[in-house]
Structure 1
Amino acid sequence: MTTLTQHTEPPAARPTATRRPTGKPRRTAAGTLLSRGVVNGLLLVAAFYTLMPISWLLIAATKNHRDLFATSGFAFGDFHLLANLERVLTYHDGIYLRWFGNSILYSVIGSAASTLLCVATGYAFDKYEFRAKEKLFGLVLGGVLVPTTVIQLPMYLLATKAGVVNTYWALLLPALVNPFGVYLARVFSEGYVPGEVLEAARVDGAGELRTFARIGLPMLAPGFMTIFLFSFTASWNNFFGALVMLNDEQLYPVNLGLFMWNSVTQQQPEFYSLVITGSLVAVVPLVAAFVCLQRFWRSGLTAGAVK
């Protein structure tokens, strides 16, 4: 018997298709690099635009009266910063120090009282139920849409009737009203103060004021500092309100005092160095406030990012 054996050849291996790079990752990396370059370029332009006036002010404050007009704006002259500071602080029996102290009073005391009132009001709008609650809150939000310059004349007439024109109260009392601060306080209260914690405090016998002071207010510390910084900046830069309400130079804030100095520079050019150096000193509290309190408002801005 003959056995026929068939020799079968193994199947030929199929040629693997060589994939050509499509170039998408390269284009994606290039697009990412381009977008980063555009964003960084815009940030550099914004930083340059922001820092250029401050740089000019810092350089100009180091010059004497001759170098201020004889050199370029961003060119250094002889260093006279200390002499300029001494002249500003001692001119007219130290009136600048009086203006600076008035600004501290208006901004710190007024902003602290305004912030406490805003936080308590926003907390009440969030945690309590009462009649016409949302309508009242809508009325508060309507106050945000009204420019402060529009209400200066009515406020002056009210201050005249109350007899507080040309006093410290003329700027401290209007600073207590801050509709935008009430809105921010309600938002912070919704995110920072759980209702369960308040209910537990009430079960333990704590009253409403004690609950707010011991539990609600500490939890709202980031929101408090954020609102305080906004209010502090607005009060420090409140020029028009002081111009309308005050006539006595002993009550001027620093910005209104510098404006009065600047108004006589055409007749007395030596006041230019006083205005420039005084403006540099007036910027310091704002920078110090944001640097020292940035950890609070940064935590407030990131509220709700992590649960």
Structure 2
Amino acid sequence: MSTTTTAPGTVPAAGTTPGAAQGPPKSRRSRRPGLIPTVVLLAGAGYCLLPVAWVLIASTKSSRELFSTFTFLPGTGFTRNVADLSAYRDGVYWQWMLNSLFYAGVGALLSTAVSALSGYALAKYRFRGRESIFNILLTGVLMPPVILAIPQYLLMAKAGLADSYTSVLLPSILSPYGIYLARIYAAAAVPDDVVEAARMDGAREWGIFTRIALPMMLPGLVTVFLFQFVAVWNNFLLPYIMLGDDEKFPVTLGLYTLLQQGASAPALYTLVITGALLAIVPLIALFLVIQRFWSLDLLSGAVKS
């Protein structure tokens, strides 16, 4: 027979049994609010991934299968579609892909370098007009790119650079949003005490930036590179205005020309869909590589700390 003892001077609460567990048990209602956001997120993810799933399935269908019935069952013509796309105009599609890799890769690298220098200078140096320059950059972030497309074309045409690789590459080097991110990250990741200690040790400003600040800013700069790469890869309006030679087209503009020709030759629609699917592959690969880099950086930071 078990007995329950109470401390002297304490009175058990009314309606409770001495020795009972303190606190009410968790009810099922407390778990329900977490289910609603999960359902909403899953519905949003499904809505965003539905076009990608359709492109993936439609690229496996031949022209007859694509226009006969609308189903989400895979077809049997994927390898033939890739072969026809590669054979179209002696492989001009792969020239478009190389052009996009050049525009996006070189443009993103140069833009990241400019953003790192500018962001570090705006974050760590005190000079007259610094805040005014930063406010102008914020205005550039809010300005739609379509407004700048025509002035950029007029400048390139005046300099004799229209219809060239440079006409697409140069405007992508300066990214106001990249400079903004670099400044915010430099201010947070590079302590002022570390910079001052390096100056007291006799380090030059360029050495402080390259040897001390740049490694600290690297995770943020990887984000800047990713955003700029995706922006240039998906850019359509600027190449459409600047370029006239279709062998210099990026893949976005090249697929648009194929789509326009598909009005008179419906067989080209399968090439457009297959080309759109292949154009996503470099972006997916880049995201996977950078995700791995972010994970390694977080682990190394935890070890160092």
- Asked whether the two chains share a fold, i.e. TM above 0.5, the reply is yes
Q: Does 1:158 align with 2:155?
A: yes
Given candidates 28, 34, 37, the residue that maps to 1:36 is 34
Tell me the equivalent position of 2:69: 71
Report how far residue 251 of structure 1 moved: 0.5
Specify the alignment match of 1:202 in structure 2. 199
Residues in 1 aligned to 2:180 and 2:44: alpha-carbon distance in whole angstroms: 29
- Give secondary structure in 2 for the equivalent of 1:129: coil
Taking only the aligned residue pairs, the percentage that are identical comes to: 42
**Preserved CA contact (<8 Å) 1:118 1:185:** yes
- 2:172 paired residue number: 175
| 2:53 corresponds to which of 52, 55, 61 | 55
SS in 1 for 2:97: helix
State which drifts further: 280-289 or 85-94: 85-94
Structure 2, unaligned runs of 5 or more: 1-10, 299-304
Residue from 280, 293, 297 that aligns with 1:283: 280
Residue identity opposite 1:142 in structure 2: T
Query: Does 250-259 or 209-218 show the bigger shift?
Result: 209-218
Which of 213, 231, 235 is the matching residue for 1:234? 231
Q: Distance in 2 between matches of 1:188 and 1:290?
A: 20
- How far apart are residue 15 of structure 1 and its match? 9.0
Residue in 2 that maps onto 1:8 = none
Kindly tell me: are residues 18 and 207 of structure 1, through their superposed partners in 2, closer, same or farther at Cα, counting changes over 3 Å? same
Distance 1:130 1:226 in 2: 27
Name the structure 2 match of 1:258: 255
C-alpha distance in 2 between matches for 1:300 and 1:70: 50
Does 2:210 correspond to 1:213? Answer: yes
CA RMSD across the alignment: 2.3
Output the amino acid matched with 1:56: W
Change in Cα spacing, 1:296 to 1:32, as seen in structure 2 (3 Å) is farther
CA gap 1:73/1:258 in 2 versus in 1, 3 angstroms: farther
2:56 partner amino acid: L
2:220 counterpart of 1:223: yes
How many residues in Structure 1 have an aligned counterpart in Structure 2? 286
Distance 2:192 2:89 in 1: 57
Give the equivalent residue in structure 2 for 1:11.
none
Q: Distance in 2 between matches of 1:219 and 1:15?
A: 59
Q: Structure 1 residues 17, 189: closer, same or farther in 2, change over 3 A?
A: same
AA matched with 1:58:
L
The CA distance in 1 between the partners of 2:279 and 2:245, in whole Å, is: 20
Task: Report deviation, 1:151.
Answer: 1.1
- CA drift at 1:16: 6.8
Q: Which amino acid aligns with 1:138?
A: N
**Any gaps of 5 or more consecutive residues in structure 1?**
1-13, 302-306
State the SS of the aligned residue for 1:166.
coil
Deviation readout 1:29-69 (Å, 9 max, x if unpaired): 43432211101101110111121111111111111111111
Equivalent residues of 1:156, 1:165 under 8 A apart: yes
Cα gap change, 1:300/1:180 in structure 2, threshold over 3 Å: closer, same or farther? farther
Does the C-alpha gap of structure 1 residues 161 and 35 become closer, same or farther in structure 2, counting only changes over 3 Å? same
Q: Which amino acid aligns with 1:50?
A: C
* 1:141-196 superposed Cα distances (whole Å, 9 cap, x missing partner): 11111100011111111111111110001111100111111110011101111122
Please say if residues 143 and 179 of structure 1, whose CA atoms lie closer than 8 Å, have aligned partners that are also in contact: yes
Asked if 2 retains the 8 angstrom alpha-carbon contact of 1:249 and 1:257, the reply is: yes
Say which is worse superposed, 121-130 or 197-206, in terms of deviation. Answer: 197-206
Alignment partners' CA distance in 2, 1:226 and 1:249? 31
Distance in 2 (CA, whole Å) between partners of 1:135 and 1:49 is 42
Q: Which residue of 1 aligns with 2:113?
A: 116
| Distance across 2 between alignment mates of 1:182 and 1:15 | 65
The two structures have a TM-score, normalised by structure 1, of 0.87
* 2:138 equivalent in structure 1: 141
1:46 matched to 2:44? The reply is yes
Partner letter of residue 231 of structure 2? A
AA in 2 matched with 1:41: V
Name the counterpart of 1:304. none
State the Cα distance separating 1:299 from its structure 2 match: 8.7
What SS class does the counterpart of residue 145 from structure 2 fall into? Answer: coil
